[in-house]
Structure 1
Amino acid sequence: MAPVSILLNVIWILIGGAWMAVGWLIAAVIMAITIIGLPWARAAFNIAVYTLLPFGSRAVNRDQVTGVSDIGTGLLGVIGNIIWFVLAGWWLALGHVLTAVVFAITIIGIPFAWAHLKLAGIALWPIGKVIVPA
């Protein structure tokens, strides 16, 4: 990870990025408690780690990385994402958007607002995504 990414990640954690990672962890735990929610729990946990350290990484479709489609990138992934959206995606995305609005008020906060907006998009449709170094 580049020094600038490390610095941005430290600032991110200190000024409030950790609270959204906790939100993702809560979603992962709730999904894991219900045995049916295990596929969503895995995705939520991976994105919780990404939410904690968003600079220096990016989320891409898994089939772009592996070159082949799988369950998460096909029709079942779409159905899973719709269920995710109804159960947890909308409120995680709302949290990211509201936090982005607060950060966008200042010029210094714009990179953090942009990171929250990217995370809001992932919050709506996480199944089939993988986190890779930028």
Structure 2
Amino acid sequence: MKTILNIIWLVLCGLWMFVGYMLAGVLLCITIIGIPFGLAAFRIGVYALWPFGRTVVDRRDAGAPSCVGNVLWLVLAGWWLALGHITTGIVLCITIIGIPLGIANFKLIPVSLLPLGKEIVRTDEAFGYAGR
């Protein structure tokens, strides 16, 4: 079922969201300071391309630098990417078949706003991260 949802996702919105994240990643990698943010955009872009079967977990070892980085990310790229997820999610929720995909888009909003200090793992691995 995850594979079918991922294929439908890829056709309807995954490819476009992936391109948006890759564009943001390339723009952020122009400067040396922006490279960590660009890498985060690339990581989330791959997640946005094929999201079903994976989830986002908090990293316990992320500290103050990731908090400061998240504020910068929010200003530089996060709100643009979140706006893309909101728009795509609303459009997908118009049809009954698109509702699960729209909800998946809404679930990507938090990681698109504040990606640093998070890790993307397979859903069956997520339980192992709860104790960290």
TM-score of the pair, normalised by structure 1: 0.89
Query: How many aligned residue pairs are there?
Result: 123
Q: 1:38-77 maps to which residues of 2 (within 5 A)?
A: 38-63=35-60, 69=61, 73-77=62-66
Q: Secondary structure at the match of 1:36?
A: coil
CA distance in 2, matches of 1:31, 1:37: 5
Structure (1 or 2) with the greater helix fraction: 1
1:88 to 62, 69, 77: 77
The AA in structure 2 aligned to 1:60 is: V
1:22 to 12, 19, 23: 19
Q: Percent identity?
A: 50
The AA in structure 2 aligned to 1:87 is: L
The CA RMSD over aligned residues, in Å, is 0.8
The AA in structure 1 aligned to 2:17 is: M
Structure 2 residue ranges without an equivalent (≥5): 124-132
**Once the 2 structures are TM-superposed, how far is the Cα of residue 59 of structure 1 from its aligned partner?**
0.8
Structure 1 residue ranges without an equivalent (≥5): 64-68
Instruction: Describe the superposition over 1:73-107 as per-residue Cα deviations: whole angstroms up to 9, x where unpaired.
Output: 21111110000000000010000001100111111
The AA in structure 2 aligned to 1:103 is: L
Aligned to 1:78: 67
Correspondence 1:119 to 2:108: yes
TM-score of the pair, normalised by structure 2: 0.90
The AA in structure 2 aligned to 1:33 is: I
**Once the 2 structures are TM-superposed, how far is the Cα of residue 15 of structure 1 from its aligned partner?**
1.3
**Once the 2 structures are TM-superposed, how far is the Cα of residue 46 of structure 1 from its aligned partner?**
0.6
**Once the 2 structures are TM-superposed, how far is the Cα of residue 38 of structure 1 from its aligned partner?**
0.9
The AA in structure 2 aligned to 1:10 is: I
The AA in structure 2 aligned to 1:19 is: W
CA distance in 1, matches of 2:84, 2:119: 21
